[in-house]
């Protein structure tokens, strides 16, 4: 660096973010809590609605909405596996032989 010049950090071009979308937060919380699959279903619904609102209104919280959607789908996958397991176990004609 030539003498007399001071180091300056590089400029960052940050896009201003709007407020955090409340539905995105609710989707993340419900997806994490699970609540006997009701939370998973609500996490999916709220997550997709929040993503649409974030895209239209420029709010922040897209990552939380996406996390809520992912957790909601994981919860529903466990529901499907539980239904299959219960139907196999309770079927009197089923045999592991």
pLDDT of residue 1: 56
What's the pLDDT at 97?
64
DSSP-assigned letters across all residues of 20-71: BPHHHHHHHHHHHH-TTTHHHHHHHHHHHHHHHHHHHH--B-HHHHHHHHHH
Q: How much is the pLDDT for 2?
A: 63
pLDDT at 8: 81
pTM of structure: 0.78
Per-residue pLDDT tens digits for 18-66: 899 999 999 999 999 988 889 999 999 999 999 999 999 989 999 999 9
Give the C-alpha separation, 46 to 66, whole Å. Answer: 10
- Ordered by start, the domain boundaries in the chain are 22-89
Shortest CA distance to 14 belongs to which of 53, 62, 60, 65? 60
Q: How many CB atoms lie within 10 A of CB 21?
A: 23
């Amino acid at each position: 660096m030539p003498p007399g010049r001071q180091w300056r950090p590089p400029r960052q071009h940050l896009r201003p973010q709007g407020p955090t979308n409340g539905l995105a937060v609710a989707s993340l919380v419900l997806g994490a809590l699970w609540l006997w699959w009701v939370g998973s279903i609500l996490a999916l619904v709220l997550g997709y609605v929040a993503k649409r609102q974030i895209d239209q209104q420029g709010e922040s919280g897209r990552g939380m909405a996406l996390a809520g959607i992912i957790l909601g789908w994981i919860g529903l996958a466990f529901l499907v596996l539980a239904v299959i397991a219960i139907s196999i176990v309770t079927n009197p004609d089923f045999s592991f032989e």
